[in-house]
Amino acid sequence: MDKLTKVLKDKFGYDSFRNGQKEIIEQVIAGRDVVAILPTGMGKSLLYQLPAYMMEGTVVVVSPLLSLMQDQVEQLKMIGEKSVIAINSFLTFEQREFAFRHLSFYKFIFTSPEMLQNERFNKALEEIRIAYIVADEAHCISQWGFDFRPDYLRIARWLKIFRATNVLALTATATRTVVEDIKTTLLMKEPYEYIHSVDRPSIAYEVKQMANQQEKLAWIIDRITNTGGPGIVYTQSRKKTEMYAKELRNRGVRCAFYHAKMEQEDRILVQQQFQQGQLDWICATNAFGMGIHKDNIRQIIHDHIPTSVASYMQEVGRASRDGKQAIASLLYTTSDVEQAFYVSMQDFPEETDIQLIYQTDNFQLQLPETTERILNYWKEELTEQETIHLFQNIKQKKWVEIQALYNIIHNELCIREQLLHFFDEQLIDRPINCCSKCLLNLEELLESKKQTHETSEHFNWKYRLDELLQSYNL
């Protein structure tokens, strides 16, 4: 047994590596930059966790979400790792200062792109030995950086301080363009690339055109109350997540809603309840999903057209981590393309906003916090006309991305083949249950849900009692 396999067995309890894992880990240990694209459930966490036990120094993991960081910390603690911390807004000032003074104690440090701009944190990092740096969910660099969280683009500046340290970039889906964005932003030098197929044979694809929202709601209720989960319903609005959850709970379904405006503690609670099997369904915006370690998700339902093929693949990829049959269903109306574009543009600055922020230092316009953050970043980087031109290009790109997904679901060609083609792949083996355009046996796919009247009524009364107590603040 070689050293890597021995650590795999002793520390993580596995007898053998999955395809690609050993090759990637060897490159990280050799000090080489690496871009690794592996589908959800293929063991991406192991790629940065195992090398740490073969090398001296601390591993710094840059992660996009607080809930994802907390989950990763808990994963490591479960295998007995005590020297791990997430440095984020959950820490009090005193806790953060203590962590800064004792950074060398930690084997794993998880943090956000925003925290990398903290001078106190950077000075503390410069004083310790860093084994390597990990960019987790690295597609966010391209997908979010330009139009949502510019601090992803500032990573390049931060990395210049630690350029002698190699970088491991991990994600589940990325087109060639996104891979190039990752390599450029992370200042990679001739990185080793491992790109696994995005095909998930155990996930069947189903699309259905609907007349209106009412028909979508009726379909969702019928599907969920008559078939098995666990599952996720993705929708575009916070209001709909709450509406769906209420309708389903009233019918005895163990579910909850999840969206970005909830308190962080409430979001983490819902996520934990879902992972532990206390909830069967989550009705959520796309804020839910990253870092969900639940192997047995059987259904993903979209009541809309997502804003890109890559986003869609990320979301449906959360099903079937155990390799067993699952189904991804997408419901759409003819007006959903325009709605998807509207949603994706909500926080985008208009040309007049850009002109105003460049022409005054006292910008008093009432803009969403995200929009203001975006504009403040680009004001430092580009001229007024360059920024206007940038956002014109981004808007055009967004429209093309939405239209690309609409074309895939709206024509009569195999959905799986088209999704793979989008990522420059070809379909080699068509699964028995492929998609609703070619082969799909719903009776075989969907487990019937036999729920007694008594159980349903019991859950109904429990839910209604909770509502009454909340309304009276008891």
Does residue 142 share a domain with residue 69?
A: yes
Q: What is the number of domains present in the chain? A: 2
188 and 244 fall within a common domain: no
Mean pLDDT for all residues in the chain: 86
Based on the domain organization, do 18 and 35 belong to the same domain?
yes
Look at residue 177 and tell me if it is in a domain. yes
Torsion of CA 181, 187, 190, 194, to 10 degrees: -50
**What's the rounded Cα separation, in Å, for the pair 144 and 307?**
12
Residues 146 and 219 in one domain: no
- CATH number (domain holding residue 248): 3.40.50.300
Last residue of a domain, one of 160, 195, 230: 195
- Element (DSSP H or E) covering residue 109: strand 108-111
pLDDT tens for residues 154-173? 888 899 888 789 999 998 88
| Residue 237 and residue 111 share a domain | no
Q: Which of 168, 195, 222 is the last residue of a domain?
A: 195
Q: Please check whether residues 133 and 241 belong to one and the same domain.
A: no
- Domain limit, last residue, from 138, 169, 195: 195
Q: Give 224's contacts (C-beta < 8 A, 6+ positions apart).
A: 231, 233, 248, 253, 281, 299, 301
**pTM, full prediction:** 0.85
Express each pLDDT in 187-241 by its tens digit: 998 999 999 999 999 999 999 999 999 999 999 999 999 999 999 999 999 999 9
Q: Judge if 189 and 329 occupy the same domain.
A: no
The burial class, CB within 10 Å (0-12 / 13-18 / 19+), for 130 is middle
What whole-number distance in Å separates Cα of residue 454 and Cα of residue 462? 12
**Within this chain, do residues 84 and 210 fall inside the same structural domain, yes or no?**
no
Q: Which domain holds residue 188?
A: 3-195
In sign, the C-alpha dihedral spanning 42, 43, 45, 49 is: negative
Beta carbons of 61 and 72 less than 8 angstroms apart:
yes
Q: Running along the chain, 474 residues long, what does each successive block of 10 average in pLDDT?
A: 88 88 95 91 87 94 82 86 88 89 94 89 93 90 66 84 90 87 90 93 96 95 94 94 96 94 87 92 86 87 94 92 94 92 82 83 64 82 90 89 94 96 92 91 74 41 47 40
Cβ neighbourhood burial of 336 (10 Å; 0-12, 13-18, 19+): buried
Same domain, yes or no: 169 and 292: no
Residues 208 and 188 in one domain: no
